[in-house]
Amino acid sequence: QSALTQPPSVSGSPGQSVTISCTGTSSDVGSYNRVSWYQQPPGTAPKLMIYEVTNRPSGVPDRFSGSKSGNTASLTISGLQAEDEADYYCSLYTSSSTFDVVFGGGTKLTVL
């Protein structure tokens, strides 16, 4: 299985922007656009925020955006709000040799 690396924590003040990275390799993140991002406030189920690198499901504020450069995918949250404080996970689906889904280790976002 691939391993996706996320920073353990990031922080920002209300109104600021933060970016959470998700780093893989040229064989996974670098080769596939099947990266998704999930938000998980404490004690709740994860919620889909971004799919296929850049797409936002209906109902997700446009303050949330996704991108990819090389082997790193990123989630950017602009105009930070207190309610954005949560754990964030990236995920990747690869099908090079076998159907496999990998999650990053998660990033704790603190709104100062």
Partner 1 sequence: QVQLQESGPGLVKPSETLSLTCAVSGYSISSGYYWGWIRQPPGKGLEWIGSIYHSGSTYYNPSLKSRVTISVDTSKNQFSLRLSSVTAADTAVYYCARHSASCYFGYWGQGTLVTVSS
- Residues engaged in binding partner 1 (CB under 8 A): 1, 34, 36, 38, 45-48, 51-52, 57, 89, 91, 93, 98-106
Task: Name the minimum Å distance from CB 1 to partner 1.
Answer: 6
Q: How far is CA 105 from CA 16, 20, 60, 80, in A?
A: 24, 12, 22, 22
Comparing CB distances to partner 1, the nearer of 10 and 48 is: 48
Whether 48 and 57 have beta carbons less than 8 Å apart is answered as: yes
Comparing CB distances to partner 1, the nearer of 17 and 44 is: 44
Task: Name the minimum Å distance from CB 12 to partner 1.
Answer: 22
Task: Name the minimum Å distance from CB 78 to partner 1.
Answer: 22
Dihedrals phi, psi of 82, to nearest 5 degrees = -55, -35
Comparing CB distances to partner 1, the nearer of 12 and 106 is: 106
3-state SS, residue 61:
coil
Strands 47-50 and 64-69, bridge-based pairing: unpaired
